[in-house]
Structure formats: structure tokens, C-alpha cells
Amino acid sequence: MMDLHSLLYFKKVAELQHLTRAAEELRVAQPSLSRTIASLEADLGVKLFDRVGKGIVLNRNGAILLRHTNNALRELEDARAELSDQEAEGNRTVTISLFAASKLFPQLISAFKAEYPSIRLRLAQNDLRNQGDGEQERDIAIFSSVQPAAGENERVLIEEELLLALPEGSPLASQRVLPLSDAAEMEFICLYKGKSLRTITDLYCRMAGFSPKVVLECDSPETVRELICAGMGISFVPSITWRGMDTRNIVLRRLSAPDCKRYINLSWRKKGYLSPAVILFRDFVQDYFAVLAQK
């Protein structure tokens, strides 16, 4: 008989492909487990395992049932989570991975919490080297890319021009728009490798025919500004997400050849239940960036 009980037993046997170990982990007698699997096979009219020597191996029929079993159990977990949300509306958490736009994130969080004070936010600030880590655990990710994100669970928040920030006395400051190759011999101040902005700007430098001469790496837009003012080098500056940075004694210039820009994107979990809190935050972020882009 195919019920939840037998499907849970089948899933364990299918994962371990060993009746004795499965029985031990399930804390049931092996004969009872064998009868459950045999009853399930009889009910479905197909064999789910092939005998190989003294062991068993999941066959093609078993693989099909395992896929549907996993989907069904995931749906049940989603139902449990949704019901839990209904019972604990005031105790909600949204887990966010932040790969870009960290400078303006405090203002975004402040605006969101002003409207939804009961929703808790858990932030993980990462770089591209571990972007895939914890993908199933996070609810929302904000990241940047050279091409606009186009997945079914992704939205482009803004398209953002990348400017070149120069000390006022730089020989390049007299040009209103300059080819990126003109900066090939200049010394750059950059974010650390692995940061999405650094990955994108390194790509544009390669497209312009050079590798940037990086004299300093740091993780703070404010520190970048101070270092440029001190004449330590030049840097790329995102035109929107770094807006509001003090630009006294700094000249910002547009770039060409290549046309330097990036996309700030939003993604959310592709599979599984999205709680009302996650949906509220997802929609709020999109509205927030839409207003930001119009300023």
C-alpha cells in the first residue's frame, strides 16, 4: 500500500540501497521493512530494486518513484511551513545573501523595517566565490552581473553605469568621456577579488586590452574615496548604488570602449514555499530600486 509511511521507508532504502542499514536508521526490524517494500512493489505492480549479489540496487522504476516521493515530501514540508506561518505571523525571518549594493543596503533595510517592524532579517554578505553556498537556505539574493538576469525567479532591479573616479589633478580629468584604455597605465584602487564589482571591472579592463595595476585593495567605498583624494590611484564608481558618496576633490568621468555598466539583480528561491514575509521583502526591494532609478 502506497501511503506516507511506506514512502518514507522506501526513500530511506533507496538512498542507502541497503536494507540492513536502512532498518537500523529507521529503527525497525529488517523483515518488517522488507515486507513494506514488497507491499509497495505489489501495489504499484513493478519492481523498485534489482538484486545484485547479496545487495539491492535502485532500478529505473525506483528512480521514478524516488523523484516523485521527494517532490511529495517537499510539498508536505512547504505545507507545514505555510501552516506554521499562519500560526506565527509575528515571528518571521527573511534570509538574504548580499553580493552587491552593500553601500545602500542599510537605507533599504531601515525603510523596510519602518513598514514591517515584526519581520526579522538575517543578512549574509558574500562574494562570488561562494555565491552557490547555501542556495537552498537563503530566501533572497541581491547580486550584480554584466548581462541582465533572465531566470524565472530573477528580476533586474537597475541598470547602472560604472564611472571612473579620478583625483582632481589627474591628467585624464580634462576629458568628459574617455576610453577605458586611456587608464591602462594608471594605478587602480579596487575592491577585493571575489567581490562582484571587482569581477565585472576586471572583465571590462580585459576587454579594453589591459589588466589593471592594482596598488590597493579595500572593502569600503568611503575608504576608496579617501584614497583617491590622497592621490593614491583611481577607481571605478557605480553611478547609482554609490550615490551620495562625498565627491569633493574627485572627478567622475564616463567611460567608453567598452561601455561600462552592470546590472543589479534580485533572485529568490526557485523551489519551495515562499513565506508571506519573503514575498513582502521581495516586492519591497523591487519597488525601492524602481524609485531609486528614477532619481
Task: Establish how many alpha carbons lie within 13 A of residue 206's alpha carbon, considering only the half-sphere containing its beta carbon.
Answer: 6
- Predicted confidence pLDDT, tens digits, the chain (295 residues): 678 888 899 999 999 988 889 889 899 999 998 999 999 989 999 999 998 887 889 999 999 999 999 999 888 888 887 777 665 554 588 999 999 988 899 999 999 999 998 898 998 766 555 555 556 578 999 999 999 999 999 999 999 999 999 998 898 988 999 999 999 999 999 988 888 899 999 999 999 999 999 999 988 888 888 899 888 999 999 999 888 777 788 999 999 989 999 999 999 988 877 888 999 999 999 999 999 988 7
Distance of CA 91 to the CA centre of its chain: 24
This prediction's pTM = 0.68
User: H/E element holding 282?
Assistant: helix 276-294
- Grouping H, G, I as helix, E, B as strand and the rest as coil, residue 51 is strand
CA distances from 152 to 144, 146, 266 (A): 17, 18, 11
